[in-house]
Amino acid sequence: MDRMKHAWLGCLFFGGLLFAGTQDSDINVNTRYTVDTVTVAGKGWKTDLVSDQSQNQKMSAGLRKDLLALIGQKLNPSALDGLAVRLKKELAAREVSHRVLRGDSPEHVRVEFEVKPYRGEVGANFTKMVYNSQQGWSADGGVDVTVLQNSFRFGMASDGDSLDERFAGISARYENRHVGTDRVDLKFEFDSYHDQWNSNTLDALAAGGSKETSDAYRTRQNFQPAVTIALAKPLTLEVGANFERFGEQYPAAHTEASDAVIATLRYHQRLEGSDNQQDLDASYSLGAATRILDSDFVYASHSGEMRYQFTHGKHVVSDTFSAGAITGRAPLDDRFVMGNSVYLRGWNKYEIDPLGGNRMVHNTVDYHYRLFRIFYDTGAIWDEGQTAVPRHSLGVGLRESVFTLAVAFPVRSGRVEPVFMMGVIP
């Protein structure tokens, strides 16, 4: 019987070659009908691709253009298969199916794509992975478990890049992305880290720097509940609290607290033309630690960022402006830092701000074309009452997706000390 099965297969294989020559469009009797509407629908949302701009932002301009191009044309079933595959990929869906139904007028049909999301998903990912030839490796990764609208994350980090400390430890986060409505997102996060300090930072603290900030701590625990509300797309507001405990060793083992209310307002707008795309992101964050929350540190931190990106084909140019100010005495981990993989890339943070600063201003211009990438950073970090020293750096490298391989040069007179960086660099 095996021989028979193989013969059966053989016949169909060669017969299938003949079959392959005939396209679905040629033999589907509905190809004579004209498409009058195309809709894409998921759980709790539906878009006709024309009127609902907020839902349309779920997919790229190119895909939406191709979906809209179906309207007014004769039905092409094989094109629907290709578009369903693209929708599945862009919307990270479990399945995208399509149906064709009678239209509102004779000889017309309507096309409906149905997007089915994953019910449960487990994934591992890195939110940060950077190698800096001065600071070594930094990584933050974890496992995400998503069940319906609930997401759990268990992470581990060892980061010597973001702050003036190297912190290593664990984190856990629970997030509910649908609290009664898709517009409200609830999040709880807990982090526990051990800290190591660079000698430049310890020397600066010993020289009296701790008047401006905390002492060097050995451990840091943080609990942060927050609610994010979509006020009106594209505007979201996140409000919450940040309860931090610092285990300090000197002059005697004791604990200090930094408890603050936090709020962040975010704005995102995308403008799409036929050949280009513009993205505008803006955010303002406020952190206010007060004695009312039993905080040992009392301060108010304001920071804002504005980013504009213009995409034309494979050319992408962006400008990101950031500024921040802290009034009062904030712990070391809440102070601004530059000379890392985000701000003033190429500079050594322990040279320019071993204790961070309570004032900062920074601008980045970034251009990439295909794999090629070039960026220019300029900024200053200082403490209130000091003179701000503007600094500049240039970088060049290769970028594939989120991964970058770059060499950054701090611009200064005298010597050239390039810094090599690779990883997930903004």
Partner 1 sequence: MAGLAVPVFPARGAQPIEVTFDGDNLHVSAPSLHFLTGKPLERLKDAATVVFLTQLTLFSENRDYAIRRVPERFVVSYDLWEEKFSVTQLGSTPRSTPHVLSAPAAEAWCLEGLAISALGVAPDRPFWLRFELRTADQKDLSGGAGEPGLNLRSLIELFSRKPGPDDPNWTREVGPLRLEDLRRATGRGARNG
Interface with partner 1 (CB under 8 A), residue from 50, 69, 74, 82: 82
* CB 58, min distance to partner 1, A: 20
Tokens at 226, concatenated: 């927050």
User: DSSP letters of 351-409?
Assistant: HH-TT-BSEEEEEEEEEEETTEEEEEEEEEEE-TTSPP--EEEEEEEEEETTEEEEEEE
Only segment of 1-9, 50-58, 188-196, 304-312 that touches partner 1 (CB under 8 A): 1-9
Distances (CA, A) of 220 to 140, 147, 203, 393, 416: 16, 30, 21, 32, 37
Rule CB under 8 A: say whether 69 interacts with partner 1. no
CB under 8 A: which stretch of 27-35, 61-69, 147-155, 273-281 binds partner 1?
27-35
Q: Shortest Cβ distance from residue 32 to partner 1 (Å)? A: 9
Our finding on whether 251 is near partner 1 (CB under 8 A) is no
7 binds partner 1 (CB under 8 A): yes
Cα three-residue angle 382-388-390, rounded to 5 degrees: 110
CA-based nearest residue to 100, from 91, 108, 92: 108
Record the tokens describing residue 79, joined without a space: 């094109």
104 in contact with partner 1 (CB under 8 A): no
Minimum distance of partner 1 from residue 4's CB (angstroms): 6
At closest approach, how far in Å is the CB of 15 from partner 1? Answer: 5
Q: Which stretch binds partner 1 (CB under 8 A): 95-103, 134-142, 156-164, 219-227?
A: 95-103
Told to check if 33 binds partner 1 by CB under 8 A, we report yes
Cα 256 to Cα 251: distance, rounded to the nearest angstrom: 13
**Which residues in 107-118 are b (16+ Cβ under 10 Å) and which e?**
eebbbebbbebe
Structure-token pair, residue 302: 């304001």
Nearest of 65, 49, 21, 78 to residue 277 by alpha carbon: 65
Q: Which of 51, 101, 104, 211 binds partner 1 (CB under 8 A)?
A: 101
Cis ω on the peptide bond leading into residue 234 (within 30° of 0)?
yes
One-letter amino acid for residue 416 of the chain: V
Minimum CB separation from partner 1 for residue 43, in Å? 20
Q: Count residues contacting partner 1 (CB under 8 A)?
A: 38
First to last CA, the chain: 61
Of the candidate spans 21-29, 150-158, 172-180, 197-205, the one that interacts with partner 1 by CB under 8 A turns out to be 21-29
Check residue 29 for interaction with partner 1 (CB under 8 A).
yes
Cβ nearer to partner 1, comparing 16 with 123: 16
- Does the protein bind partner 1 through residue 35 (CB under 8 A)? no
Interaction between residue 139 and partner 1 (CB under 8 A) = no
Half-sphere exposure of 176 (CA within 13 A, CB side): 10
- For residue 4, state whether it binds partner 1 (rule: CB under 8 A): yes
Taking CB under 8 A as the rule, does residue 253 contact partner 1? no
Kindly state whether residue 27 participates in binding partner 1, applying the rule CB under 8 A: yes
Single residue of 48, 60, 98, 306 touching partner 1 by CB under 8 A: 98
> Degrees (nearest 5) of the Cα angle 58, 61, 66?
105
Q: How far is the CB of 87 from partner 1 (least distance, A)?
A: 11
Check: CB of residue 323 under 8 Å from CB of residue 286.
no
23 binds partner 1 (CB under 8 A): yes
**Dihedral sign from CA coordinates of 416, 378, 164, 308:** negative
Instruction: Please pick, from the candidates 109, 186, 330, 361, the single residue that binds partner 1 as defined by CB under 8 A.
Output: 109
Residues linked to residue 299 through DSSP beta bridges, in sequence order: 289, 328
Single out the residue of 20, 232, 252, 253 in contact with partner 1 (rule: CB under 8 A): 20
The CB-of-314 to partner 1 minimum distance in angstroms stands at: 23
Q: Report, in this order, helix, strand and coil percent for the chain, each rounded to 5.
A: 15, 55, 30
Is 351 an interacting residue with respect to partner 1 (CB under 8 A)? no
Nearer to partner 1, 18 or 416 (CB): 18
Residues 6+ apart with CB under 8 A from 265: 235, 236, 237, 238, 283, 284, 285
Q: Min. distance of Cβ 25 from partner 1 in angstroms?
A: 10
Contacts with partner 1 by CB under 8 A lie at 4-5, 7-9, 11-13, 15-20, 22-24, 27-30, 33, 75, 77-79, 81-82, 84-85, 98-102, 106-107, 109
